[in-house]
Structure 1
């Protein structure tokens, strides 16, 4: 846990509440305490009737795209200073949080409110973390559905109706390469999208907006190499695994990598955060 003196009883209460619920804590660089509503949505002006092209040359149209977020944290540290150890708490100073879950429909730009309002300090944030978790980010067995997708990809006159369900549990654990260091790759690291670039100032009276663009998730997905859908003889499935051992193994790994690190053709992150 990251802890830092907050200077008064109210701040200390915030610190304790954060620690009790998620294991991450807000520090301060001296700004005043603020509270704010937090929202998430798909990208601005999203049009679900339109397909989009990914780097592999497929045109993709999504009929379903949802994402579950457990929490959001913003930090004074720039993205390049991500965690250098096995810790799931990054260096720098956490200055704000939206510490409540939200299930986001990514095919609309209508803001969807986090279940708990955000709080923090009046400071400038340079990076953010998205926690893709349920009730316990450290529990392998606590593995809710994080992403649900359905759509059609096409290339060269061939169409591939597909669906995908993404969870993050034992299916995403990295093998232990050194028995002397069994905790080298904790599950919490697979559940945190870190290093999201941010340049916002937190202030009283504002609101935090997270916009998620799923088009950045599919850069490493070859839709011509998926698994047959057991529920639909004409459809295909992206495996919910990094190592399924099936025809779609690379696609399953590529989709999960895209969710955690995805970028758009412009080079921008698939995750955009503003404070308005």
Structure 2
């Protein structure tokens, strides 16, 4: 009888223990599901915020482009052909980037209107289908994703000092406050310039304004621009890996001294490269 009672008690204890384990497992699963939902919501909130930021950056960029068009006409009317030519070179640089990336820059755009779609040309507008990958998150993702997003600082770590940030600045040649679409690294002449991510070289040529420059198209609508290079080591059509040497810094074009002008763009729209400088070499 005592054995029966002991077995019965042990059986009940086992059932209770199993029930507790099952309940604990369900609670853990529920907590994990809640965590996943919260993480997903955080990411969706980030994407929405990023979309809004990109829309504003797009408007800022179009205003900048239209400002350059107006400034060129201003210098033409004032009969200052040299300054008009300098501004035209800046406009040509922007058009060459848009053409290489297959985006269209609409002129004199109004917020309430949409530009017509050109055949085989991608609109520069940021839409909900654009893949938005936060640079800090990209650096923590798997190698395949990380290598396709421009997160590598394009000059050696010891030389990665930004001497001119992204945003409005006093233009060193035109001597007017004008938006700077990238950052300048005061790395001197002959510094190694690295591809900031895996991608395809869509342009490598000379500009009277930006000197020798390179455009690389990456993943998720991102691209990177490297200008005022002393030498270019790759060609249009080349596929490069993150960290490959693509050229050397210099002072070609209209430059006040040796440096690297570096840009990151999303769907052709310049964004602050500093947000993407999460790795060094």
TM-score by length of 2: 0.28
Higher relative contact order (CA 8 A, sep 6+): 1
Structure that is richer in strand per residue:
1
